[in-house]
Structure 1
Amino acid sequence: MCRRIAVLAAAGAVATAVVVAPAAHAEGRGDIRVTRTVVNGGSNVIVGVTNVKKFTIAMTIKDNSGVKRVHSVSAFNRTNGYGPVDHLGTSCKKVSTTTSVCTATMQIDPAWIDSYGSGNEGWDANAVAGTWRVDATVAANDGDYWISDAIGLFKVKRAATLTTDATPEPVRKGGTLTVTGKLSRANWTDLKYHAFTKQVVKLQYKKPGGAYSTVKTATTDSRGHLRATVKATASGSWRWAFLGTTTTMKVVSTGDAVTVK
């Protein structure tokens, strides 16, 4: 088990932050503290199988003498310690004599997630997904420093895809409409999308100009497939909606418009 540590140097740029999680454990000297942390603008970090995912870690730091720098910052899965993440740089903006906001830019490349832990027995690249934490070491102008653990919590999730196909099109009024689909999610071992099985997915309908509402649910089979039948009463659009899990993103398919004659 290993962690990838990213060392940060302070510069100047604008960042925003919101309260996330206080440090679970910290040590150091003096009154310098990280008081706020926001990761990826408060959103989950979604990683697919091709594109490199970049995200930010913005930290509000306070000390009575002013903030000098961020010595280091790291992010990793809080359960197993895996952190296949690269640091691309950091920047800080002084917002008062005592406070600065420092923003680190990070990236996860799905192409090297599997190789990251390949030397560990029983390694599963997909175990990277889940709740991650942020640690940082910060320094003040008067020599104060603080090693802050778990200053922020966020989720890294596997990307997902979802399709919808409603048939027949058009359909006679009162006839049976069959709506199928497939739910898949990213696999970081072979960098392909695989069927996501045994998942409950909502079938939703809306009239032209209206809003989607759930009609029924279905569960994905061993190939990730979905199937439901409904009575055709009026023209409109049909779609599948998946709420996601702690390790997989939520996803909604494109609607399939069906005319009822």
Structure 2
Amino acid sequence: MRIRATVAAVTGALALSAFAVPAAQADGSAISREDTAKVLDAAHAAAAKSGSRVAAAAADAPYALDASISNVKINSGKAIVAGTTKKVSVPTSFTLTHGADVDIEAADFIVDLEIYKGSYEEPDNYLFGDLYPTCTAVSTTVATCKGTIDAYPGEGELFNSDAGAWSANAYAIAFNGEDPSAADFDITKVGVAEQAKVGSTKLQRYSKLTVNASPEPVKKGKTITVTGALTRANWETNKYAGYTVQSVKLQFKKKGSSTYTDVKTVKSGSAGALKTTVKAAADGYFRYNFAGTTTTPAVKAAGDFVDVK
């Protein structure tokens, strides 16, 4: 089980080592995230001293690997939407360009794409995939890579404040046969390339919307009361809570029609409650329609049919 960690500031980079991570990847890779964190932390420390991203040939740092990442896509450009308990997994893809002497097929060559909330220097949170991405060579210096971003809202990985805009960070590490757990580990023989802000995405709190129109049946010209509720995932309680003070449209679709039309706009109240009245005119379906916000996706209630006599 992955555990959300408290993020600590690391000069010039993500605080990778602040997270509880498995000893090895689930795919059996001998390189763990603790290993990559060790190398990246050393590169960050050297960069802070030298003023560069990676201090090549420093006595206690990896060298600058000839590699770069571009064409990043996260969830095909769509927002990542997480509920209260179920694991969320979305695809990522990117292009890896590297020097001809970089062996991307080596068992200890690692490439990864992560997303982070807040600033690159002091992130509030970050998410990564259960497995490292896999790359397929398309030439001697270019490869296409695919992976995932996996989130576990039911295991405390997310706070409500995490909803909104996120950025992507990418890195490639060539361990070149060096064992990070060995006493004679020589970090200067390890190559690192790292890039911040190579992409962006949104993380949103899953939303729900209900509707109930009554009475039914109803006489023509009489009053119909339409109630409902707009709720969204609370990542800190693992329950759904009302989304208040939000504009929600009441819509109507006449029986036999395929199109809903706007009737009026209603503001959500306490616990996300919605309530308004209309005059009965014809048989048809009422629904509420929420357009969504940066932190919460759009949602439409299933139509509730009213029989007008």
Q: TM-score range by the shorter chain?
A: 0.7 to 0.9
Question: Which structure shows the bigger proportion of residues in helix conformation?
Answer: 2
- Per the alignment, residue 127 of structure 2 pairs with 85
CA distance in 2, matches of 1:67, 1:73: 19
Counterpart of 1:163?
210
Give the total of aligned pairs.
Answer: 238
CA distance in structure 2 between the partners assigned to 1:157 and 1:67 by the alignment:
38
Cα distance change, pair 145–167 in 1 and its aligned pair in 2 (3 A):
same
Q: Hey, what does 1:175 align to over in structure 2? A: 222
1:67–1:99 Cα contact (<8 Å) kept: no
Please, what is the CA RMSD of the aligned residues?
A: 3.0
Structure 2 partner of 1:131: 165
Match of 1:235 among 278, 283, 291: 283
Name the SS for the 1:83 alignment partner: strand
What whole-Å deviation, never above 9, does each CA across 1:142-191 have from its counterpart, x for those lacking one?
Answer: x9853110111001111111100011112222222211100111111111
| Structure of greater relative contact order (alpha carbons < 8 Å, 6+ residues apart) | 1
User: Which of the pair is proportionally richer in strand?
Assistant: 1
The equivalent position to 2:154 in structure 1, one of 111, 126, 139, is 111
User: Mind listing any 5+ residue stretches in structure 1 that lack a counterpart?
Assistant: 12-25, 118-124
Q: 1:199 to 1:244 in 2, by over 3 A?
A: same
Q: Verify: 1:210 aligned to 2:244, yes or no.
A: no
Q: 1:44: Cα distance to partner?
A: 0.9
Structure 2 residue 194 is matched with structure 1 residue 147: yes
Task: Output one character per residue of 1:94-137: Cα deviation in whole Å (capped at 9) or x when no partner.
Answer: 23443222122221111222xx58xxxxxxx2112111111011
TM-score, normalised with respect to structure 1: 0.79
Superposition deviation, residue 85 in structure 1: 3.0
1:191 is aligned to 2:230: no
Query: In 2 relative to 1, CA 245–138 (structure 1 residues): closer, same or farther, beyond 3 Å?
Result: same
Cα distance between partner residues in 2 of 1:223 and 1:73: 38
Whole-angstrom CA distance in 1 between matches of 2:246 and 2:223:
24
Matched position secondary structure for 1:223: helix
TM-score by length of 2: 0.68
Q: Deviations over 1:166-225 (max 9, x none)?
A: 111122222222111001111111111111111111111112332112111000112211
Query: Rg larger in 1 or in 2?
Result: 2
User: 1:64, CA displacement in angstroms?
Assistant: 5.8
